[in-house]
A and B are shown apart, each in its own frame.
Chain A
Amino acid sequence: MKTIMQLALGTAVALGVGLSGAMTTVAQAEDSNYVPLLTYRTGPFAASGIHIANGMHDYLKMLNERDGGIGGVKLELEECETGYNAQKGVECYEATKGKGALVYNPYSTGITLQLIPKAGVDKIPVLSMGYGLSAAADGSVFPWVFNVPDTYWDGASVVIKYIGEQEGGLENLKGKKIGYIFLDAGYGREPIPLLEQLAEKYGFELLQYPVGVKEMQNQSSQWLNVRRDRPDYMVMWGWGAMNPTAIKEAVKIRFPMNKFIGVWWSAGDDDAAAGGDGAKGYKAMNFSGVGSDFPALDDIKKHVVDAGLSSTDAGTIGGTLYNRGVLNSVIIAEGIRTAQELTGKKVITGEDMRMGLEALNLDEARLEELGLKGFAHPMKVTCEDHAGSHPVFIQEWDGKTWRQASGWIEPMTDLVRPMLEKAAAEYAEKNAPWPARTEPCPN
């Protein structure tokens, strides 16, 4: 009985400490910019999430170590573990928003959807880099949400364009069968309307193979169907444990790997490596640099990883997803820098950050200045277009590493943009009364 009493007492004390912590908002230092990082290093999507988290953390940490932050003001970083779980994501958001958060990167479509309506109310922008709600690209409806450099619809149009190129022209797609294997959630289903539209336009047949979140690691039935249907090409919209499984299954049924193309989230090094030698030739879209041959990445290695300030394994620097995380942080950092220039303040707020992101102009010269020449396509955000439909390239797995396999391919903007605007209008209508944009345009 005594031990139980002691234990109860201990629990009560622990709860009391936690309670007092939860009840009092932590006073923030006046001379830093606070950037919360919603990451996931646990759960079914950790295999992808860890590299992204490392990349995001390391670049910002490197700016702190090398330059003393941005504009002479240090960045205060805090990671909050979401486990890709929407409930925990909201918990992280609520726990960190009061500390002067500048921007949120949810890295989950589910969490992004929950943060979109809150962003305008709490005046903190959401940066969903190449994921989230495609319609958010319409800046006139979603002033607080940014999805540079591309939406999923841009990506889907690039895949079809690339397949057309392989076949010697889009008109040759007639009568071809293109299989689409996707994570059966909002994320994977989003490209379907565009793919269906393209199928009608170019006369190819779209075969759909949904993979439920629970079946991510057991896709034999889907691939059995693939073997039966014999599609000419396979396109994949996967994430987490789904990617390596799909590649392994494709190798097993001897699907020609050079005709298997993944979205930029199915482009991880571990994903492709899972397929062994058979995965040679697997392709994926990408918009962030291949390899570690960039001065900025050398700085990360020198100032952060070798200094023991990060949990990154030095061998993973330069992996696709790591670089994706770095690019995400580059956009955050440039957003902060632009906001500082626009407002003349050193310590900025979420509203300033929104302006900074909206005025973002990452041109070739600036990329070179950052030590990231050729790391990404020059990016520009406008008040109307928060995605920008930037070009994407295709990379190919050579059995050991990724190498660039195509030039920059422009999305079919003429087709995608009207769909985006329509979807944005629909979202605003369904969520009526959706607030009209009142934020001034900084450009």
Chain B
Amino acid sequence: MFYREAGQFKTSYKADQALMPILQDRIGLSVILVVAFVIIPAFANDFFLTSIMIPFLVFSLAAIGLNILTGYCGQLSLGTGAFMGVGAYAAYKLTTMFPDANVILMVLLSGVFSAAIGAIFGLPSLRIKGLYLAVTTLAAQFFLEWCFIRIGWLYNYNASGAIEVPHREVFGIVASGAEATPIVRYFIVLCITAGIAFLMANVLRGRIGRAWMMIRDMDIAAELMGIRPLQTKLMAFAVSSYICGVAGAMMVFFWLNAAEPSSYSISLSFQILFMVILGGLGSLSGAFMGAAFIWILPVFLKFIPGTLGIEIAAETVEHVTFMIVGALIIFFLIVEPHGFARLWQIAKQKLRVWPFPY
């Protein structure tokens, strides 16, 4: 009843092949965009923007990046954190080398470096698959982390060994550094994330995306049908690393302001991987839902007792949050192993036939 496409006639091929052929989807997306671009900036406070929305968007973008590689192309990767780090260090080097250049441009450009590194570490994927590939990407994670610690040039030989984001202006507005207002940083992150997500939604339903999915579903069959595995797999690695790199650069430039090598450790890789698995492999909206679950839920749980006026020790809240989130992860994976994206799909189907299910 709520989700019926009956009566929505398409009169041209263009309309039939649109990104969102169903009216309800278009309305839903418009509502989300209005909320993101108008309502949240108008009503949210600094804490909501800096501690919830900005990290959520950064992680969503990283999850999209990993989803392309793991969800769409079927190559398991544990090096996401390191690829994000490459983006962050590249953006830092770029902006310190060219202080007058537009910092947003530098962040977008930094992804190119992580794409190159990602493609290099993707080379073994031609010969090895599955868990074995995960091990080689794990090697990338450790090697790159070692570089962040050991190569002083990467952090401009700072005594602290960390990268600190300098003050940068874009069109006269402070975009990075401590003086950048949360609202400006939120808009930059939102625009980049929404832009890349839109671009990817189109790439994935086109020739390139279909080639990735063919490789994922059966690489020999794909090869026999004329898909070149080397180029396709490397492109998946490059595109995925590009997106992760941009997410990593945004993480330090528009969220944290400074990052130690440990910010890009293996635990970040796992965090992103869990977002992808929970959200749903091979789904863009799943990346957003997974990021929301892994990042936003613990923050809410942490601050709920305080707002309700219940006095609980800070560490108890932390432990309880750990347990609740852990239990929920297990619960959702048992109820729906294909993630939130699949749950949403089921919900849509139910809405469609309600109130007369067959």
Which A residues contact B (CB, under 8 angstroms)?
A: 4, 14-15, 17-26, 39, 41-42, 79-81, 83, 86-87, 90-91, 94-95, 98, 109-110, 113-114, 117-118, 120-121, 133-135, 184-186, 189-190, 193, 212-214, 311, 423, 426-427, 430-434
Contacts and interface: CB of A to CB of B under 8 A. Distances in A.
Contacts of A87: 55, 256, 263
Given A19-B300, A22-B303, A185-B262, A117 B177 contact: yes
Interface residues on B, range: 35 or more
Nearest to A4: B335
A87 B258 CA distance: 10
Contacts of A430: 96, 156, 158, 164, 166
B12 interface: no
Interface stretch (B45-53, B117-125, B242-250, B274-282): B45-53
Interface string B311-339: 00111011100000000000000010000
Given A81-B318, A117-B257, A433 B167 contact: yes
A118 B307 contact: no
Contacts of A423: 159
Given A79-B314, A90-B256, A117-B257, A95 B96 contact: no
Q: Which 8 pairs from chain A and chain B are nearest by CB?
A: A21-B307, A18-B300, A117-B178, A41-B315, A79-B314, A186-B161, A81-B314, A186-B160
Nearest to B319: A42
Contacts of A184: 149
Contact of A90 (B51, B167, B297): B51
Contacts of B159: 133-135, 186, 189-190, 193, 423, 426
B300 A95 contact: no
19 contacts: A14-B301, A22-B48, A22-B52, A23-B43, A23-B44, A41-B313, A42-B319, A86-B263, A90-B50, A95-B47, A113-B162, A117-B164, A117-B258, A120-B178, A121-B178, A134-B159, A186-B162, A426-B159, A427-B158
B135 interface: no
Contact of A185 (B48, B260, B302, B319): B260
B186 to A, nearest CB: 13
A17 B308 CA distance: 8
Contacts of A135: 159
B161 A185 contact: yes
Contact of B167 (A19, A86, A186, A431): A431
Contacts of A25: 45, 47
Contacts of A114: 256-258
Contacts of A20: 307
Nearest to A37: B314
B300 A22 contact: yes
Q: With a 10 A CB-CB cut-off, give which of B159, B317, B319 has the most chain A CB atoms.
A: B159
B15 interface: no
Nearest to B99: A432
A190 B262 CA distance: 16
Contacts of A90: 50-51, 255-257
Contacts of A21: 303-304, 306-308
A113 B314 contact: no
Contacts of B51: 90-91, 94-95
Contacts of B307: 17-18, 20-22, 26
B164 A431 contact: yes
Contact of A121 (B179, B255, B301): B179
A23 B40 CA distance: 10
Given A118-B257, A190-B160, 14 more contacts: A18-B300, A41-B314, A42-B318, A80-B314, A91-B299, A109-B260, A110-B263, A113-B260, A121-B179, A133-B159, A186-B161, A311-B313, A430-B166, A432-B166
Nearest to B149: A184
Interface SS of chain B: helix
A98 B44 CA distance: 14
Q: With a 10 A CB-CB cut-off, give which of B44, B265, B300 has the most chain A CB atoms.
A: B300
B259 interface: yes
Contacts of A94: 46-47, 50-51
A121 B51 CA distance: 18
A35 to B, nearest CB: 14
B259 A86 contact: yes
Contacts of B263: 86-87, 110
A23 B45 contact: yes
Contacts of A26: 306-307
B332 to A, nearest CB: 10
Nearest to B164: A431
A430 to B, nearest CB: 6
A91 B45 CA distance: 13
Interface string B83-104: 0000000000000100100000
B300 A98 contact: no
Interface in B144-193: 149, 156, 158-162, 164, 166-167, 177-179
A121 B47 CA distance: 16
A95 B303 contact: yes
A17 B99 CA distance: 44
A23 B48 contact: yes
B304 A18 contact: yes
Nearest to A86: B263
Nearest to A3: B335
Nearest to B49: A94
Contacts of A189: 159, 161
B46 to A, nearest CB: 7
Given A91-B299, A134-B159, A118 B308 contact: no
B46 A98 contact: yes
B258 to A, nearest CB: 5
A190 to B, nearest CB: 6
A158 to B, nearest CB: 19
A426 B159 CA distance: 10
Nearest to A42: B318
Contacts of A434: 167
B273 to A, nearest CB: 17
A90 B158 CA distance: 21
A4 to B, nearest CB: 7
A79 B51 CA distance: 17
Q: With a 10 A CB-CB cut-off, give which of B256, B297, B315 has the most chain A CB atoms.
A: B315
Contact of A431 (B166, B265, B302, B335): B166
A229 to B, nearest CB: 20
Contacts of B335: 4
Contacts of B259: 86
A430 B177 CA distance: 12
A18 B160 contact: no
Contacts of A427: 158
A294 B23 CA distance: 74
A15 B301 CA distance: 8
A113 B160 contact: yes
Nearest to A190: B159
Given A95-B303, A118-B178, A186 B260 contact: yes
Contacts of B319: 42
